[in-house]
């Protein structure tokens, strides 16, 4: 994506890695999303962080930042191959790009709860991770809706 060429180049310099196109596509989507609609991301309790926050706010990519780039949005128990790009709402839940073989490049995305253990869920892409989050949130909402509908039926009867 041409519009992110400078940022992509800086990230390559700071991290010595080529980040996948999908993270720049997600940044482009978020930048073009209507501002009032950005609150809709809170519906699935996710917000940009880490690498994605750097792409969305390139002013952070200063020469001073270069020294701390590898620690940016790193959680205490993060695996070295995990690059955070989204943050959830509880227990250190976060999603990141997964780089378990640097010679091959990133292989998708993963999520885990930093505060609750070491189980990692792997996704084919960051978009797959977001779709999964949407589906889980929808299932929760549908279950709550059914409970309230049953309660309403009992009250009416």
pLDDT digits (tens, 9 = 90+) for 86-140: 988 887 889 999 998 888 888 899 998 887 767 889 999 999 999 998 898 888 8
d(CA 155, CA 29): 45
Residue 79 CB burial class (10 angstroms; 0-12, 13-18, ≥19): middle
Model pLDDT, residue 68: 72
pLDDT of 36 reads 60
pTM equals: 0.81
Contacts for 99 with CB less than 8 Å, ≥ 6 apart:
17, 81, 82, 83, 105, 106, 107
The confidence score (pLDDT) of residue 35 equals 65
CB atoms within 10 A of CB 61: 19
**Phi, psi (degrees; rounded to nearest 5) at 97:** -80, 145
State the alpha helices, DSSP H only, in 16-49. 21-32
Identify whether the C-beta of residue 87 lies closer than 8 Å to the C-beta of residue 42. Answer: no
């Amino acid at each position: 994506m041409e519009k992110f060429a400078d940022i992509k180049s800086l990230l390559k310099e700071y991290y010595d890695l080529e980040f996948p196109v999908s993270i720049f596509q997600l940044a482009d989507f978020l930048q073009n999303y209507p501002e009032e609609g950005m609150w809709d991301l809170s519906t699935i309790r996710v917000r940009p962080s880490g690498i994605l926050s750097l792409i969305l706010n390139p002013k952070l990519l200063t020469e001073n930042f270069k020294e701390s780039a590898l620690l940016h949005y790193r959680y205490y128990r993060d695996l070295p191959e995990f690059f955070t790009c989204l943050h959830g709402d509880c227990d250190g839940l976060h999603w990141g790009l997964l780089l378990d073989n640097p010679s091959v490049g990133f292989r998708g995305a993963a999520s885990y709860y930093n505060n609750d253990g070491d189980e990692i869920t792997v996704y084919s892409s960051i978009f797959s991770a977001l779709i999964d989050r949407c589906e889980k949130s929808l299932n929760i909402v549908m279950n709550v809706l059914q409970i309230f509908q049953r309660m309403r039926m009992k009250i009416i009867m």
